[in-house]
Structure 1
């Protein structure tokens, strides 16, 4: 049960990590249906907190801890507070503040901005996703379901990490201007995207984040304000390091694929030459060839 529950929680974490930054940055209002849906997600994470108090874990000496008291103490001293903070239903707090402040419109804009900022702490759920993947519950199940080799899984994971970081930075890039009430020197005003559709605004922000990460930097999106330039500098530093790491891993992955393919081709060439010299039956030749190919696939899956 726990393995399947981890997979379920993992997908909820992915949904949260993708949708929450987008909604915080680009959307101000939410429907009743979405409020109920997010509350149900919070309820699932609350159930997960309860389950963690009764889930055995492996200690550093490779001994599985099954005593409920020790499990609870270990969880309370470690991951409990991160899980708890990221599970607080800030959308309900926001609705409560709005209802109580309906007659004070002047203070409403400033007051409702606070829970919107607090909802950013839900990004802490990414740490929970990393913990699930480290324990091998979530990512191992997905890898087995999609029948991916370890090398391919690492490659796909790297690509998804690049896309997620770009998505997160794009949301923060727009949110930064939004929190400053879109001053005249913000990129949103400079690029005249203030009154555009959300999809257009997100596309421009994602485009800037991706071109900065890949060190392309066309310069067609102008940054004027000091705050945005500081944010851009930090993203450039992170982007250069991560982009270099990503390129190195991709190169290593392609080199390994070429080396494995070359090794298999050499074995098949030797087999073919041996068959021509010994007049090996075609059935035996086919079986040996399939064995070599399957053995190479099995070896790649453990790399």
Structure 2
């Protein structure tokens, strides 16, 4: 059985999509202008017909997804295909011109039967969905990494432009077919452009009136196109407004948040230096995270996925700590899921000398200075991928140095209680479980802080 997400299958779908589009455009033109194609074009069309025939065979051997389950049983695949696209595919692939005498006797000109290939255009919607996704490689027998190459908004826009353009083309060809004398003294290109102009102005409900129907058939046809045009016009307006409102929904949400913050600052009458710090925080949050609140996302994820994502994102940060580097993957995964994001603005103190340590820190973005306040000396400048604060945490002693953010910093913290709990889960690692010292020193320090 063929997996529907195999890369070569998606390339095949792209080829059949292009061939289908060719017939959807060319067949109506050939019918209304009644021109003959050359030998080379006829050969290309025969090749396309062969490709359509091969596509029918492949569809009998291509699995499909049902409620996220891959169906590979041949009988189920054949039954589904025979009840859906088989008739349309067969009509588009069958070589009516080879059996021209038979079809001429019963149906008239064999070129008119080419219109059956237009039925395959309905399948373009399914091909569009397939081409929206791109397979990236095999993981096991029936699973593939799939990349979304078109966002839903882009997909809807591309699909809408494709179908409206194709429909306008068909309407233009229909106008020429109903009015064979339309600009008869002009060349076919001019006749087509003028009829396409009439089609677009009518479908968009503009209707300048410079090209008007002259027979009952043309009048009825025009009324039908007008009715369809009203629906298309409403669909266009609705979709464009939806696309514009969702094209950058995160930016819209951020702007609404900023408006609420400005109202809050105005109501509370905060001084300018505090107001500017608050605004600066949210602007930095937007520039670095596009306003995404990680806590909300983590809350919605199940524990298993949360552990996998955390380990993937933070494995390098955890391995940068010598204490964790040689530990088991299971322990590292538990550490990763306990990491909590925290943000600091430029100039914020992360901790000060004499504070009692409760956390160690990992730098995801930004720069941190390790600072000795007594001598006003910068001991080290730490960048992305570094860690700090672990020595005091492991020794359970007061902070000997201070840490200060010199840029907007995106950090992850691991608190002592979580680390102690993780180590107790892994006695086989033969590490000494960290225990806090007596709380007398903490109390003493806290009283010092009060003074």
Q: Give TM-score scaled by structure 2 length.
A: 0.51
Please show how residues 46-195 of structure 1 align to structure 2 within 5 Å: 46-59=53-66, 62-93=68-99, 114-133=109-128, 136-141=129-134, 148-177=150-179, 182=180, 188=182, 193-195=183-185
For residues 261 and 8 of structure 1, the distance between their equivalents in structure 2, rounded to whole angstroms, comes to: 38
Q: Larger RCO: Structure 1 or Structure 2 (Cα < 8 Å, ≥ 6 residues apart)?
A: 1
Aligned alpha-carbon RMSD (Å)? 3.7
In the alignment, structure 2 segments of 5+ residues that lack a partner are 1-7, 136-145, 266-271, 298-451
Offset, 1:148: 4.2
Quote the residue 1:2 is aligned against: 9
* Cα separation, partners in 2 of 1:35 and 1:287, compared to 1, 3 Å: same
8 Å CA contact 2:285, 2:291 repeated in 1: no
* Cα separation, partners in 2 of 1:11 and 1:80, compared to 1, 3 Å: same
Query: How many residues get paired?
Result: 266
Between 1:212-221 and 1:67-76, the stretch displaced more is 67-76
8 Å CA contact 1:10, 1:138 repeated in 2: no
For residues 69 and 286 of structure 1, the distance between their equivalents in structure 2, rounded to whole angstroms, comes to: 58
Q: Which has the higher helix share?
A: 1
Q: Whose radius of gyration is greater, 1 or 2?
A: 2
Alignment pair present for 1:23 and 2:30: yes
Offset, 1:255: 3.3
* Cα separation, partners in 2 of 1:147 and 1:76, compared to 1, 3 Å: closer
For residues 54 and 249 of structure 1, the distance between their equivalents in structure 2, rounded to whole angstroms, comes to: 37
8 Å CA contact 1:166, 1:210 repeated in 2: yes
For residues 49 and 158 of structure 1, the distance between their equivalents in structure 2, rounded to whole angstroms, comes to: 27
8 Å CA contact 1:264, 1:292 repeated in 2: no
For residues 32 and 218 of structure 2, the distance between their equivalents in structure 1, rounded to whole angstroms, comes to: 15
Q: Give TM-score scaled by structure 1 length.
A: 0.73
Between 1:216-225 and 1:254-263, the stretch displaced more is 254-263
* Cα separation, partners in 2 of 1:293 and 1:240, compared to 1, 3 Å: same
The secondary structure found in structure 1 opposite 2:93 is coil
Q: Deviations over 1:172-204 (max 9, x none)?
A: 211233xxxx3xxx5x1xxxx113112101111
Q: Which has the higher strand share?
A: 2
